Amino acid sequence: MPPTDRFVMSFAAEPPQEPLPYGRWADTLAGHFRAAVAVLDTEGEEIGELDTQIAWFPDRTYAGRTYIPAVARTTSGYELFGFVSFNEGTQGPSNFEARVDFTAELAEANPDWKLDLNDEVIAAWRGEQGKTADVTLVWGVPLVPGGAIVTAELANLAVDQSELVEDRFTLIAPDNYRSDFLEIKLWTKGGDELAGESLYVDEDEDD
């Protein structure tokens, strides 16, 4: 194989190792998630209280730290999204951290969406000539039927992929590198593309 002109980290995260959280483990994670919600800066917005059961997403581990994303709704119709992360050692999980944010942009109000995505930068990766990429945790659900696998592509190069687990997926991939941005794609088992969504949002388009 000849040398590549696109030198960037790819498939750096471990694939999911455990089923979706349930029972006492889900309760432990929920405690950290709720604690982060309690101190969330809502910038004056009345987002209400946590109203629904927390939906957990597949785990991914990067650089020795495991990330389990989550979403939940509030009594005022907002969506909370974030993750709980931790280190795993011989004594079990430790050094828990939770991050949470909120949004009023919901899938049911956007019928044109084919993927409902959340993302959070968790680290930086330094590449050629000191250029950096945002190591980004991406999680979500497909809004069209028939999908089996989700990929993350950077400049048409696959840099991570994940099978759907109970119609949910988690990715960890480099974003915003050399003016390129991640595109998340949904595929059938047979390799047919069903949907694609860029993480880059042009504010002018929203206007």
Please write the tens of the pLDDT for every residue from 31-87. Answer: 999 999 999 999 899 999 997 799 999 999 999 999 999 999 999 999 999 999 999
Q: How confident is the model at residue 203 (pLDDT cuts 50, 70, 90)?
A: low
How many whole angstroms from its chain centre is CA 155?
Answer: 19
| Main-chain phi, psi angles of 125, to 5 degrees | -125, 130
Taking a C-beta distance cutoff of 8 angstroms, is the pair 142, 184 a contact? Answer: no
Q: Is 61 in a helix, a strand, or coil? A: strand
Average pLDDT of the chain? 94
Residue 90 has pLDDT above 90, yes or no: no
Q: Is 95 in a helix, a strand, or coil? A: strand
pLDDT at position 202 is 63
pLDDT at position 5 is 72
Taking a C-beta distance cutoff of 8 angstroms, is the pair 102, 86 a contact? Answer: no
Residue 200 has pLDDT above 90, yes or no: no
Higher pLDDT, 186 or 4: 186
- Token readout for 18 is 């455990």
- Token readout for 85 is 């992360």
Pairing mode, strands 115-126 and 132-142: antiparallel
How many whole angstroms from its chain centre is CA 7?
Answer: 23
Taking a C-beta distance cutoff of 8 angstroms, is the pair 200, 156 a contact? Answer: no
User: Angle 30-35-39 (CA atoms, 0-180°, nearest 5)?
Assistant: 145
Residue 2 has pLDDT above 90, yes or no: no
pLDDT at position 204 is 54
Give the C-alpha separation, 9 to 133, whole Å. Answer: 9
The pTM for the full model equals 0.93
Please write the tens of the pLDDT for every residue from 13-32. Answer: 999 999 999 999 999 999 99
For the residues 179-188, what does the mean pLDDT come to? 97
Residue 96 has pLDDT above 60, yes or no: yes
pLDDT at position 198 is 94
Give the C-alpha separation, 37 to 42, whole Å. Answer: 10
Give the C-alpha separation, 202 to 199, whole Å. Answer: 10
Q: How confident is the model at residue 207 (pLDDT cuts 50, 70, 90)?
A: very low
